[in-house]
Structure 1
Amino acid sequence: MHGAASSGWPLVALCAATGAYCLLRMRSSVEEQRRAAGGEALMGFAMAAMAVPAAVLAPPRWAWLVCAAAFGAAALRALWAARTCSGHLHHSVGALAMVYMAAVMAAAPAAPAHAGHGGSGEPLVTGALLLYFAGYVLWSGARLVPMAARAGDTGGARAAASGTGTVGWGDRPEVARACRLSMGIAMLAMLLAL
């Protein structure tokens, strides 16, 4: 988070591209997918903003507090939605991780001479989030393997066989999983930089 430019810009590009794709997924005809894509787009763009190198953009303390409040609301919304769909639990953990990182950045000293003193967060919380996202990345990466192994079944064949027509590129589950995987990797990178 707001680290060196060499690692910051690729992270910004990855998160912004993922957020943009998730915006396109919001055009899906499946309501649950639209709702999930909206939360993922918000997360992608916010992670891109957080990853901008500090030499380019150093937001004031109040901006981090606004970010923490916004993601606190997003976490509550995801927890409420988790009553009917367990997939929202991951969204709530992601939003709470964003709250945590924004709070750490708000508490960090403003002077660059004090960098490394007081802005690193709680080691237990950071460690727990690192473990969670490392596990999530491994799990979601493993879920992509079976999708790639079905070389003859590209999604459109399944939809045509079920009589629903072809699946648009925005509705492809393997691409949505790849986006979630990339955001998990980005979250790991941001937590490591914390």
Structure 2
Amino acid sequence: MHGPAESGWLLAALCAGTGAYCLLRMRSGVEEQRRTAGGEALMGFGMAAMAVPAAVFAPPAWAWGGYAALFGAVALRALWAARTGAHHLHHLVGALAMVYMAVVMAGTPAGGHAHGTGIPLLTDGLLLYFAGYVLLAGARLVPVPAVAGASGAKGWGDRPELARACRLSMGIAMVAMLLTM
């Protein structure tokens, strides 16, 4: 995304770190968690690639179409998966937001700023959605008392609090990216 280089690098690092952790979560013994972690890893790495400051690396014009196609396919998969659970609707909204940002960036002159080039009502709606998601995800991180008899030995892929923190960081990154639109 276009904007100050420092914030772009921080955003890219946050998203890449989140994507890397999601790859670790793919080692879970629960298939649904592995599938969800794979989709979140793709989102994290895709967001990291889009967040690299344009002053440092301006992707070729065709790259934005590639992002739109990739996340369009992710959106179709999330739409199909939404038949079985509401969490997939969030993945659908996230993938469609990535498609929207890629299309807007494709129409932005190289090295220019995307600010003001998107559809304001759509951008505002996505900002409201992701801001609400961030608040809800943050509230879910508030510690709760441990359940008696709960197993303390969990693998990296089976730690729900870390998965929530991962989703929270991607939600915050999505808000930051949408603010540049």
Q: If the length of structure 2 is used for normalisation, what is the TM-score? A: 0.94
Is 2:149 aligned against 1:170?
no
- Tell me: higher relative CO, structure 1 or 2? Use CA pairs within 8 A at least 6 residues apart: 2
Give the conservation status (yes or no) of the 8 Å contact 2:26–2:37.
yes
Is 2:129 aligned against 1:132?
yes
In structure 2, the residue matched to 1:183 is 170
Is 2:146 aligned against 1:159?
no
Task: Name the CA distance, whole Å, in 1 between partners of 2:53 and 2:148.
Answer: 41
In structure 2, the residue matched to 1:98 is 98
Give the conservation status (yes or no) of the 8 Å contact 2:105–2:114.
no
One-letter amino acid of the counterpart of residue 158, structure 1? A
One-letter amino acid of the counterpart of residue 103, structure 2? A
| Cα RMSD for the two superposed structures | 1.8
Give the conservation status (yes or no) of the 8 Å contact 2:22–2:37.
yes
- State the structure with more CA Rg: 1
In structure 1, the residue matched to 2:144 is 149
Cα gap change, 1:51/1:156 in structure 2, threshold over 3 Å: closer, same or farther?
farther
In structure 2, the residue matched to 1:61 is 61
Task: Name the CA distance, whole Å, in 2 between partners of 1:105 and 1:26.
Answer: 31
One-letter amino acid of the counterpart of residue 184, structure 1? G
Task: Name the CA distance, whole Å, in 1 between partners of 2:123 and 2:149.
Answer: 43
**Is the partner of 2:175 in helix, strand or coil?**
helix
**Is the partner of 1:54 in helix, strand or coil?**
coil
Task: Name the CA distance, whole Å, in 2 between partners of 1:79 and 1:141.
Answer: 25
- Give runs of ≥4 in structure 1 deviating > 2 Å: 115-120
Alpha-carbon distance, 1:159 to partner: 2.9
**Is the partner of 2:154 in helix, strand or coil?**
coil
In structure 2, the residue matched to 1:5 is 5
Query: Unaligned 5+ residue runs, structure 1?
Result: 161-165
Give the conservation status (yes or no) of the 8 Å contact 2:65–2:106.
yes
Task: Name the CA distance, whole Å, in 2 between partners of 1:123 and 1:38.
Answer: 31
Give the conservation status (yes or no) of the 8 Å contact 1:104–1:119.
no
Q: Deviations over 1:118-151 (max 9, x none)?
A: 8621001100000000000001111111xx232x
Give the conservation status (yes or no) of the 8 Å contact 1:156–1:167.
no
Alpha-carbon distance, 1:117 to partner: 7.7
- How many aligned positions are there? 181
Percent identical: 72
Alpha-carbon distance, 1:61 to partner: 1.6
Task: Name the CA distance, whole Å, in 2 between partners of 1:30 and 1:149.
Answer: 23
Q: If the length of structure 1 is used for normalisation, what is the TM-score? A: 0.88
